[in-house]
Amino acid sequence: MTSHLRWLIRLFWFPFYYALEVVKSSTRVALDILTPGSRATPAFVEVRLRCTTDLEITMMANLISLTPGTVTVATRRRPATLWVHGMYVDDRDSFRDELYAMEDRLLAVTRRGGAPGRLPASGRTTSRRTT
């Protein structure tokens, strides 16, 4: 299969992937609202990105903010970094991995060659929990 065809398939699949993420997040927020008590475990997480262009960084920030339960609160261009607030962050590394999975899908659409490899472990930064 040619790289052009693979890219077209990824481009076609991306809206379905993102719609599923929105449905999962909406369901989690709705269940928390409709059931007694709160299951929220909010946290701020700093996420170093592999996005390099303004378009990629902006798209990633917007995809996060449009997903219920998460919001991008700040960005930096060099190095590309987002600060994300999540309502349901039980484990910061798992939350960060979910964001990296979204970035993988986004970069697979914006770059014909697909997403580059992951950032080295030193690219992951610390995070702070809100109270």
Q: What is the DSSP string of 87-126?
A: SB-S-HHHHHHHHHHHHHHHHHHH-TT-PPPPPPGGG---
> Alpha-carbon distance 68 to 130, whole Å?
18
Taking the model in full, what pTM does it have? 0.85
Q: How many angstroms from the chain centroid is the CA of residue 14?
A: 13
- The pLDDT mean for the chain works out to 89
Identify the band that residue 48 occupies on the pLDDT scale cut at 50, 70 and 90: very high
Residue 8, pLDDT score: 92
Q: What is the pLDDT of residues 58-68, one digit of tens each?
A: 999 999 999 99
